Amino acid sequence: MNAATKTRVILADDHNLVRSGMAALLSQHGGFEVVAEATDGLAALEQLQQTPCDLLIVDLAMPRLGGIQLIEQLRRTKQPIKVLVLSMYDDAQFVARALKVGANGYLLKHAMDEDLFQAIEQVLAGGEFVSESIDRDALAEFTYHDNELTAREKEVLQLIGEGMTNTEIAAQLTISPHTVTRHRSNLMHKLNVHNRVELVKAATTRGLIVIAKGGEL
């Protein structure tokens, strides 16, 4: 199969062994070309802007910019790139959030050797793939109540959940600390809470943000 007909893939994961494992599997298949790799979310975003590709395979927990935020920013560009999340975390909260922001599939890392190509095939064909061991009932019941939040408030909320200070959030989003404070006050009012700890707890419970538990994803 020549390069012109191969599926162009960008791999984004901060673990070298995971990336090399995926690259090896894709190389053995022969129908794929890994056109770029990234070890963090911002580097992946730069590669997506500079390197044409058909498929992004992305981890959720990465330095500088997480997978959820990366997918959100990619979807704003309207590029027809398929996205397959590759994570070790099987909580329905993570799966639902990833699919909600625009992922086309969610594959657990322990199933990568067996299911990678099935996942890719379904995603590239326009379908949706979710690893078989994901609790379907929990996934179906996991609903989001975020229609009342603006896109900017959702961004601020996620970064608050990740432990960033107002100053750090302002720098990340290129807004003023005063604006961050205003968004935080609006969020606390809308979620009916009174401090930052309660805000993060309420947002996590309602599925408005995703916070890694017990290690990397």
The pLDDT of residue 1: 44
Banded model confidence at residue 11, pLDDT cuts 50, 70, 90: very high
- 215 belongs to a structural domain: no
Q: Is the pLDDT of residue 141 over 80?
A: no
Residues 92 and 188 in one domain: no
Residues 28 and 120 in one domain: yes
CATH code of residue 200: 1.10.10.10
The dihedral over CA atoms of 201, 102, 146, 140, expressed in degrees to the nearest 10, equals: -80
pLDDT average, residue stretch 64-68: 88
Residues 123 and 194 in one domain: no
- 180 belongs to a structural domain: yes
The pLDDT of residue 30: 82
The pLDDT of residue 200: 92
Q: What pLDDT digit, counting tens, does each position of 98-130 carry? A: 888 899 999 999 998 889 999 999 999 999 999
Residue 93: how many CB atoms within 10 A of its CB? 20
CATH code of residue 17: 3.40.50.2300
Q: Is the pLDDT of residue 194 over 80?
A: yes
Distances (CA, A) of 94 to 33, 51, 179, 198: 28, 28, 28, 20
Q: What pLDDT digit, counting tens, does each position of 18-32 carry? A: 899 889 989 888 899
Banded model confidence at residue 171, pLDDT cuts 50, 70, 90: very high
pLDDT average, residue stretch 155-159: 94
User: Could you list the residue range(s) of the whole structural domain that residue 33 is in?
Assistant: 3-141
Whole-angstrom Cα distance, residue 197 to residue 195?
Answer: 6
Question: Residue with structure tokens 């600390």?
Answer: 177
- 146 belongs to a structural domain: no
Residues 124 and 176 in one domain: no
Q: Is the pLDDT of residue 52 over 80?
A: yes
The pLDDT of residue 157: 94
